[in-house]
Amino acid sequence: MTPNSSFALRFRRDITNIMNFIVLVLSVVMIVWISIDTFNNVEFMESTSYMNFQFWVCMFFILDFFVGLFFADDKWKYFRGRLLFLLLSIPYLNIIHHTGITLTPDALYFVRFIPLARGALAMAIVMGYLSSNAITSLFMSYIVIILMITYFCSLIFFQREYPVNPQINSYWTSLWWTCMYITTVGCDISPVTAAGKIIAVALPVCGMIMFPLFTVYLTNYVTRSIKSSSKRDS
């Protein structure tokens, strides 16, 4: 490896790490901001500061996509693999606001979480990088995804159900309901809004997809432990 190629690799790695760090910070700030607005019942479409912030966050997410595309060895493979990231980075909320498109409050609230979905995917990938073992890396990524899904759905369920559903008397009740549904256990609280009913269908599906991975990880972990023990004894 020549000095120039070594420098290029370090430069690419440093830029990628910086971009990933900024994406994580922006994602966390958006999560906190949306959480505070949800608990305070703030109308986000009327909040100029939030709309401007989430627009520039989306712009940075798009920049992050094209920076990654620029550094990718196989650009077509990168584009196909990260196309979902690009679609989730589009500032749909600002487009809806400036074009005057009319959506239901439930639909608008779901649209608001699209940039957070982009941030959650980025967080999952970065967490996966922390482990050199492929199975552990996949497991950590899915842990982040399922935690983000649980939290986001609990916020949506609370915001939409709390004003009209007497069974939802606090956010913690909403979080408990979300945990029961994503684990496919269910509970005696019934959603009454369209958003709540959609979440009630989507959560068990996510749970059935995600939780079997825990079994795969535990099986792999036990198998590796037994093999390591056998090697030490031999």
pLDDT in tens, 151-199: 888 988 988 888 899 999 889 999 999 999 988 888 888 899 888 888 8
pLDDT in tens, 50-80: 888 888 988 988 898 898 888 888 889 888 8
- pLDDT computed for residue 127 by the predictor: 64
Q: How confident is the model at residue 104 (pLDDT cuts 50, 70, 90)?
A: confident
User: Token pair for residue 98?
Assistant: 């400036």
How large is the greatest C-alpha to C-alpha distance in the chain, in angstroms? 72
Q: How confident is the model at residue 131 (pLDDT cuts 50, 70, 90)?
A: low
| Mean pLDDT in residue range 195-206 | 88
The per-residue b/e assignment along 46-78, b for 16 or more CB within 10 angstroms, e otherwise, is eeeebbeebbebbeebbebbeebeebeeeeeeb
Are 178 and 153 contacting, i.e. CB atoms less than 8 angstroms apart? yes
Percent of the chain with pLDDT over 90: 4
Tell me which residue of 82, 74, 58, 66 sits closest to 15, measured CA to CA. 66
